[in-house]
A and B are shown apart, each in its own frame.
Chain A
Amino acid sequence: MSLNSPYLRKPTSVSRVMAEVLLAMAPGIAVYAWFFGAGILVQLALATAAALAFEAAFLHMRGRPIKPALADLSAVVTAWLIALSFPSIGPWWLIVVATGFAIIVAKHLYGGLGQNPFNPAMVAYAVMIVAFPALMSQWPGAGQLDASAQLELIFGGARDIDAITAATPLDALRTGLRAEGAGVASLLDGAAFGHIAARGWEWVTAAFLLGGVYLLARRIITWHIPVAFLGTLALLATLASLLAPQAYPGALFSLFSGAAMLGAFFILTDPVSGATTPRGKLIYAAGAALITWIIRHFGAFPDGVAFATLLMNLCVPLIDMKTQPAVFGHKKKG
């Protein structure tokens, strides 16, 4: 409470930022659970518990204070991003091993919070999709499995999986285009697809967009990364679908499919592994969009956001170095 000048703002703490990020993910999670069942909630709980346990164990081994690091909620954000990018009916150990990899290898072995060059959640995703490609591409369709069937899949032993799951919409579109020679328009009429993108998923991604706008309004993130990422992705999709409308879906489909919204607002904006200068953020996000688009249409993985993030994380030191803004009052070096 300050009635006289100077009007100092309370410094933003890590835990407040992380709490806002978690809050912003909540609508997306709610819509996800509504359309696809309670499996995602179980996965979120598993990932959170595992992340906190691994974090505490590793802080103890490193001889660091445990309580402040657990309370900063950064491990929980990592856990939630992992749960949201993994299939909601994966076996329990999949998400626990992934979270362990993210916290131990991708975060603490590089020096802990603030030191990791790669987004831990995306490292976990990349490792698990390379190690278990089949388990990582089994997603439930909207309203396809009830809660008990999902729990059975998460905690049960044997999985007769092909009978009950569908490929992700991005996968379905790509294999459909490659195999049957059918056009985008006829494929999008199929049962798995809704108004603008995949049935169910379009609403989940729209809810993530809402959460992202909340983060922008609260000034947790700046506009650069989401706008550059979504803009580049939309531009590429529009150009491709104008040139070959039967082979490439349009901009709306691209923006509301897969992890595009989650990536634009929650993954690429990670302040540790992402670019930090304003111009750097634009380059970083545009590059990630280009790689995402290429992997989606010419690659073999369900989505390209994770690999695009990791590849652009690798470029961040160079981008940040080359885009240092001039200090006020100084001329920019030619």
Chain B
Amino acid sequence: MDLQHLREIARAGIWKNNTGLVQLLGLCPILAVSTNLINGVSLGIATAVVMAISGGVVAALRNLIPYEIRIPVFILIIASLVTVLDLAFNAYLHSLYLVLGIFVPLIVTNCIVLARVEAFAAKNGALSSAVDGFAMGAGLVWLLALLGGARELIGTGHILNGIDMIIPGAEPLRILPADYPGFLVAILPPGAFIALALLIAGKSWLDARAARKAAQSPKDPAALAST
């Protein structure tokens, strides 16, 4: 298992095959929880942890799991991990647990977790699968951070609302002037769809621009390989 291979897996998870922007999987929590930065990042990290561990565990056990009942077994593994995480949230970050509510237990049914386990971990080694789960999760984290941060900023004028749930006594950061009226639609459900659509368009635009640049300088072998 060489490093180049792992790097390729990580690149796919974080950018090229991003769960939210390219595969459009797990949109329910992405749209519902990204009302602010803290909620988005918290759920993103929780999902990333579950994906990394479940990927590794499933890959390690993949030759022992009967093919016909693999999905229930996968779900069992994922559900045990999520239960541990859910209890940990409840014990150590109780106010955040109350905010995220049902979305932490629902990681079990998040299609992106099962999708990576079924499409990747069931066919690859434990290390690659753990890296894949973690990279896909990391892709989700930055997407949720960007989406949550942007919606929060446009909707309320400051970011890091609810930071005191993680660091007691910390204050939200006001970015826009105090008389900014707050564009409420950004926080409401339509704002989630509009913002996600703009991010998808933005990624396509960046990719198209990169491809154009690579086509203009064919001497660079790295750029040639990526197109």
Contacts and interface: CB of A to CB of B under 8 A. Distances in A.
A157 B181 CA distance: 12
Given A105-B194, A130-B188, A157 B179 contact: yes
Interface of A: 97, 105, 127, 130-132, 135, 157
B176 interface: no
A157 B178 CA distance: 12
B185 A131 contact: yes
Contacts of A97: 183
A126 to B, nearest CB: 9
Nearest to B179: A157
A110 to B, nearest CB: 11
A130 B194 contact: no
Interface string B115-129: 000000000000000
A131 B184 contact: yes
Contacts of A157: 179
Contact of A130 (B179, B181, B185): B185
B184 A132 contact: yes
Q: Which of A97, A131, A157 has the most CB of B within 10 A?
A: A131
A132 B179 contact: no
Given A130-B185, A130-B190, 13 more contacts: A97-B183, A105-B194, A127-B185, A127-B190, A130-B184, A130-B188, A131-B183, A131-B184, A131-B185, A132-B181, A132-B184, A135-B181, A157-B179
Nearest to A93: B181
Interface in B190-223: 190, 194
Nearest to B184: A131
Main SS at interface, chain A: helix
15 contacts: A97-B183, A105-B194, A127-B185, A127-B190, A130-B184, A130-B185, A130-B188, A130-B190, A131-B183, A131-B184, A131-B185, A132-B181, A132-B184, A135-B181, A157-B179
Contacts of B183: 97, 131
Interface in B150-201: 179, 181, 183-185, 188, 190, 194
Contacts of B179: 157
A320 to B, nearest CB: 25
A157 B194 CA distance: 29
A90 to B, nearest CB: 11
Nearest to B181: A132
Contacts of B194: 105
A96 to B, nearest CB: 13
A17 B209 CA distance: 40
A97 B184 CA distance: 13
A132 B68 CA distance: 55
A150 to B, nearest CB: 20
Contacts of A132: 181, 184
8 closest cross-chain pairs (CB), A and B: A131-B185, A131-B184, A131-B183, A127-B185, A130-B185, A130-B188, A132-B181, A130-B184
A67 to B, nearest CB: 26
Nearest to B188: A130
A135 B113 CA distance: 44
A311 B134 CA distance: 42
Contacts of A127: 185, 190
Nearest to A157: B179
Nearest to B201: A109
A105 B185 CA distance: 14
B192 to A, nearest CB: 14
A267 B70 CA distance: 56
A130 B184 CA distance: 7
A127 B184 CA distance: 9
Nearest to A97: B183
A60 to B, nearest CB: 16
A131 B188 CA distance: 9
B200 to A, nearest CB: 12
A135 B181 CA distance: 10
Contacts of B184: 130-132
B205 to A, nearest CB: 11
Contacts of A135: 181
Nearest to A135: B181
Contacts of A131: 183-185
B14 to A, nearest CB: 27
B100 to A, nearest CB: 25
Q: Which of B179, B181, B188, B194 has the most CB of A within 10 A?
A: B181
Contacts of B181: 132, 135
B59 to A, nearest CB: 42
B206 to A, nearest CB: 15
A113 B194 CA distance: 20
Nearest to A101: B185
B198 to A, nearest CB: 9
Contacts of A130: 184-185, 188, 190
